[in-house]
Amino acid sequence: MHKQSTQDPMRLGFLTALEIPKRGHVAGLLVTNHFGRPLEFQCTTPVKPNRTQELLYGPTLVPFILGDLLSRTLLEKVGVKPQLVLTDSPDMLELRNYVSIPVACLIEDDTTSHSTVVQRSVDSVQTVKLGLHHFAVHPAHQKDLGVLRDRTTGFADTVDLSEPLDRVREALQETMSAGAAA
């Protein structure tokens, strides 16, 4: 994935979430080395807001659950800290308001089909190309675009950074179905 000195190997965090019917939102974080090999995986238990929370939080509820509550918990819990977090959920960009490391969201293009991905048609969103895909950052943290460029210098143009997000999603589905069967 990335060529870097042995003194400072790149650790990437891949963060995504699922909404499980009748159970709520669950999130997972996979930290990989620069070859895309897993170093650590953590996931949350499902969080389902009650009706009062839905009313009080309104449209800020999902970004709060995904970006603050679940994502921040995962990042604090993981033993191997990533130097960069990539997600496919725009609501998870909220995490960046609570951590010092860059968080970037996959932008939909011809090779991605996830419905949660930021739509590429938003003209005002600045992006950075990492491997095969473009990524956006939180609007309040536009300086992260430069940090992303610097930290990912040497990424091959053929690297598919959406693939590890698929692995996390599949691991979450497997974990949730195994938990439901128990």
Domain assignment present for residue 182? The answer is no
For the chain, what is the domain count?
A: 1
Residue 123: predicted pLDDT: 47
Residue 8: predicted pLDDT: 62
Domain assignment present for residue 2? The answer is no
Domain assignment present for residue 1? The answer is no
Range with lowest mean pLDDT among 94-98, 111-115, 131-135, 161-165 = 111-115
Domain assignment present for residue 103? The answer is yes
Coil, strand or helix: which one is 53?
helix
For 33-87, write each residue's pLDDT tens digit: 988 899 999 999 999 999 999 999 999 999 999 999 999 999 999 999 999 999 9
Domain assignment present for residue 7? The answer is no
pTM here is: 0.85
Domain assignment present for residue 3? The answer is no
Q: Provide the pLDDT confidence category of residue 90 given band limits of 50, 70 and 90.
A: very high
Domain assignment present for residue 6? The answer is no
* Beta strands, E only, 21-99: 24-32, 38-43, 84-87
Q: What does the pLDDT average to over 9-21?
A: 93
Residue 150: predicted pLDDT: 85
**What domain range includes position 77?**
12-176
Domain assignment present for residue 5? The answer is no
For 143-182, write each residue's pLDDT tens digit: 999 888 888 777 777 888 999 999 999 999 998 887 665 5
d(CA 38, CA 134): 23
Residue 154: predicted pLDDT: 73
d(CA 112, CA 105): 12
Q: What does the pLDDT average to over 81-105?
A: 95
